[in-house]
Structure 1
């Protein structure tokens, strides 16, 4: 299949997580319960597993799903346990990076059994830390790893400082109070104000579906993750580090330094902050498909819609 080109795959601002796609809603067995996913279906090309970040969900990849199917890629986007439509346990300790990675390995193993081929794995933000742990646990399952807006170790900076306020808010008013507080903060940000009402309604509904234990456990995990870059490099699994030009979680400089240590391919997505799949899906799609087509090659042809086929 031909590498997809540019503008026709750019999702309008009024779509975002609500972008129209034809992926089927499916579930996979996880270690603590069913894991909800969106699956574009079997095809002759590679299979990619997309893992959402903290408070995210499979819908964070919605603008990419139909274009990936058109490019001959089977895309499976999953909630992690305790997120949105995937139930989770009531024990925060069950949301460690290792536990979450075991879920990813379970899904990847099923996809590997179905296709007979290693899976291309992508983790967004905190999902990148989980995806990295999955590769470290079972490197033979994975053809490549993409770290999308993720970092080498624990989150630091303003986003990390916000997580310090989470336990008292949850204790005082549960997930509802956390959601209300975040909504109030978001409305001071012009970017949040520009999000269309239907998308804001979805984001609120999704956040309220998070388990309190999951919010606590994942936050603790994200703030305690050690630097495992050398371990990842030692696996030999090809890695792509890619992020928005204005990423406000792990900084672009931190991610660039991680890519250098990994000797990984590194791509900066213009017109994007921390969620390139939502903010600039067209360029994100090009970068990803080019990498999956030729993990050991160059990204120099990513803007050429005749660059090649997905194998």
Structure 2
């Protein structure tokens, strides 16, 4: 674990959630905290390469497992995994980690579809909003095809068979190190099967709510890799225009800029968060 980063569990009125918390290794956290929400089949570890750098700017940073993901337990009720229900969880978590302060909220991929529910319901006290490698509606392209294939196979094949027959061979072919493959297997098998099905449908079938986001007035950043194979970069650029939002394209990165270009991604987030705080404080 990087210096200043610890694994914890946050208890809230809607249940417990596994988190990684990063704090500045020197001094105190003088800036407002940030909350990072992962994508479908992802987890808090997807942000581990940027946590220390983000915290060194003077803030506490929390990356979470959503309900039913990896180390956060979830129920067998499919309704608990809708974007609205998960967004409600994010509201509560943001209020918990913020402890009265505004929170910088970030959603990666499917996490963007979840966190926009938090933004739109207006419950959480937010300082800014970042959509990282996310889109205006359900995912498209190769990842849509992969998602629909997985949803079709899950009820009959089960998660372990999908891993051993398709996902693990793909990872080996891509040259993923053995220790990372072992972690990816452990993470996938720890997910709630009910959650995988329900969240998979949600990421495929989400509707466009960008026009509603335009009405919030919240400082927003659209950040994505130049080679994103989830939502096409052109679609994300159009979304940024519709939102009149800041837009950062991360060179060399694909669908996971926090993993593929951590320093560039962390620097862009820190600049945006600092500017958003300054704007609020000087109103």
Report the TM-score, using the length of structure 2 for normalisation.
0.91
CA drift of 1:79 comes to: 0.5
Provide the aligned C-alpha RMSD in A.
Answer: 1.8
Aligned residue-pair number: 273
Question: Secondary structure of the residue that 2:63 maps to in structure 1?
Answer: strand
Alignment partner, residue 307 of structure 1: none
Q: Is the 8 A contact 2:104 2:129 kept in 1?
A: yes
Alignment partner, residue 206 of structure 1: 187
CA drift of 1:31 comes to: 6.4
Alignment partner, residue 182 of structure 1: 167
Q: Distance in 2 between matches of 1:126 and 1:144?
A: 18
CA drift of 1:140 comes to: 5.6
Question: Secondary structure of the residue that 1:161 maps to in structure 2?
Answer: helix
- What are the ranges of 5 or more consecutive residues in structure 1 without an aligned counterpart? 1-18, 298-311
CA drift of 1:128 comes to: 0.7
Seen in structure 2, the aligned counterparts of structure 1 residues 185 and 209 have a Cα distance that, compared at 3 Å, is same
Matched, 1:66 2:52: yes
Seen in structure 2, the aligned counterparts of structure 1 residues 186 and 40 have a Cα distance that, compared at 3 Å, is closer
Moved more, 232-241 or 36-45: 36-45
Question: Secondary structure of the residue that 2:135 maps to in structure 1?
Answer: coil
Spell out structure 1 runs of 4+ moving beyond 4 A: none
Question: 1:136-185 deviations in whole A, cap 9, x for unaligned?
Answer: 11266111000000001111112111122223422223211122221223
Moved more, 38-47 or 202-211: 38-47
Question: 1:14-62 deviations in whole A, cap 9, x for unaligned?
Answer: xxxxx63432222223565311001124712120000011000001110
User: Does 1 or 2 have the higher relative contact order (CA < 8 Å, sep 6+)?
Assistant: 1
Q: Distance in 2 between matches of 1:185 and 1:55?
A: 16
Question: 1:204-257 deviations in whole A, cap 9, x for unaligned?
Answer: 111111111111010111111111101111000010000001000001000000
Question: Secondary structure of the residue that 2:158 maps to in structure 1?
Answer: helix
Q: Distance in 2 between matches of 1:161 and 1:226?
A: 18
Question: Secondary structure of the residue that 1:76 maps to in structure 2?
Answer: strand
Q: Distance in 2 between matches of 1:30 and 1:209?
A: 21
Matched, 1:51 2:51: no
Residues 165-244 of structure 1 aligned to structure 2 (within 5 Å):
165-180=149-164, 181-188=166-173, 192-193=174-175, 195-244=176-225
Seen in structure 2, the aligned counterparts of structure 1 residues 95 and 44 have a Cα distance that, compared at 3 Å, is same
Seen in structure 2, the aligned counterparts of structure 1 residues 186 and 218 have a Cα distance that, compared at 3 Å, is same
Alignment partner, residue 16 of structure 2: 34
CA drift of 1:83 comes to: 0.8
Alignment partner, residue 281 of structure 2: none
Q: Distance in 1 between matches of 2:146 and 2:186?
A: 21
Matched, 1:292 2:273: yes
Seen in structure 2, the aligned counterparts of structure 1 residues 267 and 161 have a Cα distance that, compared at 3 Å, is same
Question: Secondary structure of the residue that 1:82 maps to in structure 2?
Answer: coil
- What are the ranges of 5 or more consecutive residues in structure 2 without an aligned counterpart? 279-283
Q: Distance in 2 between matches of 1:172 and 1:202?
A: 24
